[in-house]
Chains A and B, each alone.
Chain A
């Protein structure tokens, strides 16, 4: 149900980057705006072929563009346009600007920019795309500001601008070494024309001073002192507190509810049914309770009795799907995804062939901040405070649901207590908007943890019937995957449940066949950190190890042989797999982890590689398994090539976090779905990894000269196979089903 809508979102989320891989990013120009309250001068950022609009007003503040505002007191405000969800963008974006500006980082104040498509273009957090899609334009923003400050100083001194240099928020005189601070120059610079961005030269990498260093997060002081940053922390005058109860099986509607009883409970101001618009990513039917406090609303919700009409609701059964997939996995899929060469002929001539059936379950995003939104509808317009990954899409959805124009929707982006893809969907935003309108009051909608587990856009489970062949020399010569996935419309897989024949190792082989079968599904699915890759990597990278072992080969050597000579998979597209970069990270991870070292019995090393989101990652896990099948992951070594690093601290943190996240799912996480209902409801049944099971994660970057790429996701996919390959090395037992806790292991 609603799958077309979800697919549209996913396509949107992926479209911009695709565009960027195919052609140059359209150059944006920087313009100055005037007539703003307070008389300040603002240079704004304009999409497309805009002209350098350069009017001005009397000004005490110099703001070269929408990303930068320099005040006479020397403070430098830099906007970060995309939502901060824990990926560190609010620190990384300003760093990129500050580098070209030659700003002293201690002068910089970073702020979340307003949400405004006309000014800032696309504003979203998803797909590990913020850095690759904004890197150059942010550098140009910094360079533009710097150029105007230099010009101002050169006029002041009567020297040539090209002879001046800059350092630490100051322009340096070419001869006598005197300095003019950016604050001192701000007013004068504001009166100068905006330079043509194409005339500005950007710094060479060897001249970077800030990029690549370790910078602590700009919100860290506020975070460790408990300041109100998150969606859940918002409070507006007269605000009421709301809950929303939906059918536990997606697609059910309200037949009857004890609304009168609920309305009579202490603190309850109102209770009502919303019909919704049938879009699971927007507004599904349910019962809203509006109360004077969160606790009054939660308490009333427990008294709520709803009879659901489940005639159109999901009847999904995970156990039934597993059974069906096991049968299907024994044969080829009904749909051909892609093939090359003659797989069957290769099998019959091969030295050995091997088969393996792999599966992984549905997952919840389980962001630690449960879904919430604060909304205030009045006078045909609405103001919203939301922890969303896609604020602009949220504005569109709310406008549609309320029947108002998009410019009547103001959305304040808050810090986000965990995204992982969950908040690409704005369901709680839509619900809060509709509840505020119906209640005639500002409301904060707060989901419980149970609501959050029951109504997610889950990582879809999947099954891979794998087969491969090696020749006499032990070389991989054929590979086959029958991918059993899910579809909600019978035509295409659900979000995160698709596969292509570009999937490693197929495009590197002369013989492969990838087929697919789709099982029906009513449960909504969506992107979950490294969509697609997070499941496929487990199956395929484990099976590659199986094949290496069957061929009597060292896994490292086998993997490097598949990579072959260094080349781009799609020459000219630097966001595709480069086998040379891949080989380099594989060798580095192996070297740093001590590949081949002697280990005591019951202990082993496991290697895995994966390429996603334009990032090349290899990981080695050192794991021991005791006689009671208790698994201990001692250490994980990560080697990555994502080009130059923006913030070394943030980059390492993302890799460590992604590894822990992937380890958490590998060890213990999985959802059972029966009768359309997710069976797990809170963290006691969904055992996220705790500190005692968190290994040391060592991260090593190869800072190649290629364009920088994103880090929110690509460190996650390899870890599951690295751990399971290590378990095999330690015990000889091959894990083909996740999570380990359900395979009889303990942690």
Chain B
């Protein structure tokens, strides 16, 4: 089985003996130990597995690892700065106490970060459209909206 060379959070990672059908999600979680990216549905319906590939939000459960070789993959573990300074969205998430169970929030944050990269001052409608693919079973949507606006005001595309 093939060996993959992936760029994850700025680091080159070599993953050996990987079946070519393996979704990026399971390479991140099982092979690389980056378990912040979550498994929710396996079908791209819930967004819990959202990561960035070249800055674009991607459902890692429905994207093979082989298809993103040579591209820049960012996971929730790589959203903060290397010195540990949090991304404005992460700060806003804490300030607004967004999480309940917290399981979906990594995916929410990654999708929100991609939104702010392309729209630095989104309206509620923009937020609702951009975040439509991310389910929160606990229903924290009111606070997700507020936190995205707060982060945007603080220059959220950091």
Nearest-CB distance from A489 to chain B (Å)? 32
Query: Considering the chains assembled together, what is the distance between the CA atoms of A227 and B139 in angstroms?
Result: 22
- Give 21 A-B contacts (CB < 8 Å), ordered by A residue: A219-B102, A224-B86, A224-B89, A225-B77, A226-B34, A226-B77, A230-B103, A293-B30, A293-B31, A367-B103, A415-B102, A417-B103, A418-B138, A446-B39, A653-B100, A682-B43, A683-B45, A683-B46, A691-B128, A691-B132, A692-B128
Complex contact A369–B1 (CB within 8 A): no
Minimum CB distance partner of B125 in chain A: A692
- A370 at the A/B interface (Cβ < 8 Å)? yes
Complex contact B30–A368 (CB within 8 A): no
Q: Which of B104-158 contact A (CB under 8 A)?
A: 104-106, 109, 127-129, 131-132, 134-145
Residue of A85, A267, A682 near B101 (CB, 8 A) is A85
Nearest-CB distance from B83 to chain A (Å)? 13
Nearest-CB distance from A177 to chain B (Å)? 34
Interface residues contributed by chain A, number (CB under 8 Å): 68
Query: Considering the chains assembled together, what is the distance between the CA atoms of A654 and B143 in angstroms?
Result: 12
Query: Considering the chains assembled together, what is the distance between the CA atoms of A334 and B58 in angstroms?
Result: 56
Query: Considering the chains assembled together, what is the distance between the CA atoms of A166 and B89 in angstroms?
Result: 37
Nearest-CB distance from B25 to chain A (Å)? 9
- B55 at the A/B interface (Cβ < 8 Å)? no
Residues of B contacting A293 with CB < 8 Å? 22, 26, 30-31
Residue of B1, B41, B93 near A449 (CB, 8 A) is B41
Complex contact A299–B19 (CB within 8 A): yes
Nearest-CB distance from B149 to chain A (Å)? 13
- A694 at the A/B interface (Cβ < 8 Å)? yes
Residues of B contacting A228 with CB < 8 Å? 35-36
Residues of A contacting B46 with CB < 8 Å? 368, 683
Nearest-CB distance from A566 to chain B (Å)? 33
- B69 at the A/B interface (Cβ < 8 Å)? no
Complex contact A649–B135 (CB within 8 A): no
Q: Which of A660-700 contact B (CB under 8 A)?
A: 660-661, 664, 682-684, 688-692, 694, 696-697
Residues of B contacting A223 with CB < 8 Å? 93, 99, 102, 105-106
Query: Considering the chains assembled together, what is the distance between the CA atoms of A217 and B131 in angstroms?
Result: 23
Query: Considering the chains assembled together, what is the distance between the CA atoms of A221 and B76 in angstroms?
Result: 12
Complex contact B80–A232 (CB within 8 A): no
Complex contact A683–B141 (CB within 8 A): no
Query: Considering the chains assembled together, what is the distance between the CA atoms of A364 and B45 in angstroms?
Result: 16
Residues of A contacting B90 with CB < 8 Å? 224-225
Nearest-CB distance from A263 to chain B (Å)? 17
Residues of B contacting A653 with CB < 8 Å? 97, 100, 140, 143
Query: Considering the chains assembled together, what is the distance between the CA atoms of A449 and B48 in angstroms?
Result: 12
Residues of B contacting A661 with CB < 8 Å? 137-139
- A643 at the A/B interface (Cβ < 8 Å)? no
Query: Considering the chains assembled together, what is the distance between the CA atoms of A241 and B22 in angstroms?
Result: 15
Residue in A87, A227, A228, A418 with the greatest tally of chain B CB atoms within 10 Å? A418
Complex contact B101–A86 (CB within 8 A): yes
Residues of B contacting A694 with CB < 8 Å? 139, 141-142
A-B interface, 10 closest residue pairs, ranked by CB to CB distance from nearest: A226-B36, A660-B139, A86-B101, A417-B103, A226-B76, A694-B141, A683-B45, A86-B100, A657-B139, A692-B128
Nearest-CB distance from B148 to chain A (Å)? 10
Given contacts A219-B102, A295-B30, contact A369 B38 (CB under 8 A): yes
Q: Digit string of B1-45 for contact with A (CB within 8 Å is 1, else 0)?
A: 100000000000000000101110010011101111111111101
> What is the interface of chain A, defined by CB distance below 8 A to chain B?
85-88, 214-217, 219-221, 223-230, 232-233, 235, 241, 266-267, 293-296, 298-299, 366-370, 415-420, 446, 448-450, 649-650, 653-654, 656-661, 664, 682-684, 688-692, 694, 696-697
Contacts A216-B95, A223-B106 known; list 12 others, CB within 8 Å. Answer: A86-B138, A225-B36, A293-B26, A293-B30, A295-B21, A295-B23, A418-B101, A657-B139, A658-B139, A661-B138, A683-B45, A691-B144
Q: Digit string of B64-87 for contact with A (CB within 8 Å is 1, else 0)?
A: 000000000001110110000010
Minimum CB distance partner of A664 in chain B: B139
Complex contact B102–A86 (CB within 8 A): yes
Query: Considering the chains assembled together, what is the distance between the CA atoms of A368 and B39 in angstroms?
Result: 8
Residues of A contacting B142 with CB < 8 Å? 656, 660, 694, 696-697
Query: Considering the chains assembled together, what is the distance between the CA atoms of A446 and B37 in angstroms?
Result: 15
Residues of B contacting A214 with CB < 8 Å? 97
Residues of B contacting A267 with CB < 8 Å? 19
Residues of A contacting B37 with CB < 8 Å? 226
Complex contact A691–B137 (CB within 8 A): no
Residues of B contacting A370 with CB < 8 Å? 39-40
Query: Considering the chains assembled together, what is the distance between the CA atoms of A440 and B21 in angstroms?
Result: 28
Residues of B contacting A87 with CB < 8 Å? 100
Complex contact B79–A294 (CB within 8 A): no
Residues of A contacting B94 with CB < 8 Å? 216, 220-221, 224
Complex contact A691–B134 (CB within 8 A): yes
Complex contact A691–B106 (CB within 8 A): no
Residues of A contacting B30 with CB < 8 Å? 241, 293-295
Residue of B1, B29, B97 near A650 (CB, 8 A) is B97
Residues of A contacting B45 with CB < 8 Å? 682-684
Complex contact A235–B33 (CB within 8 A): yes
Residues of A contacting B93 with CB < 8 Å? 220, 223-224
Nearest-CB distance from B57 to chain A (Å)? 14
Minimum CB distance partner of B101 in chain A: A86
Residues of A contacting B80 with CB < 8 Å? 225
Given contacts A225-B80, A418-B137, A683-B45, contact A233 B35 (CB under 8 A): yes
Nearest-CB distance from B65 to chain A (Å)? 10
Query: Considering the chains assembled together, what is the distance between the CA atoms of A217 and B129 in angstroms?
Result: 28
Complex contact B137–A366 (CB within 8 A): yes
Complex contact A220–B145 (CB within 8 A): no
Residues of B contacting A225 with CB < 8 Å? 36, 76-77, 79-80, 86, 90
Complex contact A682–B139 (CB within 8 A): no
Query: Considering the chains assembled together, what is the distance between the CA atoms of A590 and B62 in angstroms?
Result: 47
Complex contact A299–B101 (CB within 8 A): no
Residues of B contacting A697 with CB < 8 Å? 142
Residues of B contacting A660 with CB < 8 Å? 138-139, 141-142
Residues of B contacting A226 with CB < 8 Å? 34-37, 75-77, 79, 106
Residue in B101, B105, B106, B144 with the greatest tally of chain A CB atoms within 10 Å? B101
Complex contact B38–A232 (CB within 8 A): yes
Nearest-CB distance from A714 to chain B (Å)? 15
Nearest-CB distance from B95 to chain A (Å)? 7
Nearest-CB distance from A117 to chain B (Å)? 25
Minimum CB distance partner of A239 in chain B: B30
Complex contact B139–A659 (CB within 8 A): yes
Nearest-CB distance from A91 to chain B (Å)? 9
Given contacts A366-B137, A653-B140, A692-B132, contact A682 B76 (CB under 8 A): no
Nearest-CB distance from A656 to chain B (Å)? 5
Complex contact A217–B99 (CB within 8 A): yes
Residue of A241, A417, A659, A692 near B102 (CB, 8 A) is A417
Nearest-CB distance from B35 to chain A (Å)? 4
Complex contact B101–A296 (CB within 8 A): no
Nearest-CB distance from A217 to chain B (Å)? 6
Complex contact A217–B103 (CB within 8 A): no
Complex contact A691–B131 (CB within 8 A): yes
Residues of B contacting A224 with CB < 8 Å? 76, 86, 89-90, 93-94, 99, 105-106, 109
Nearest-CB distance from B60 to chain A (Å)? 12
Residues of B contacting A419 with CB < 8 Å? 101
Complex contact A220–B97 (CB within 8 A): yes
Query: Considering the chains assembled together, what is the distance between the CA atoms of A448 and B76 in angstroms?
Result: 22
Query: Considering the chains assembled together, what is the distance between the CA atoms of A333 and B38 in angstroms?
Result: 47
Query: Considering the chains assembled together, what is the distance between the CA atoms of A694 and B125 in angstroms?
Result: 12
Residue of B86, B100, B102 near A229 (CB, 8 A) is B102
Query: Considering the chains assembled together, what is the distance between the CA atoms of A682 and B41 in angstroms?
Result: 7
Complex contact B135–A688 (CB within 8 A): yes
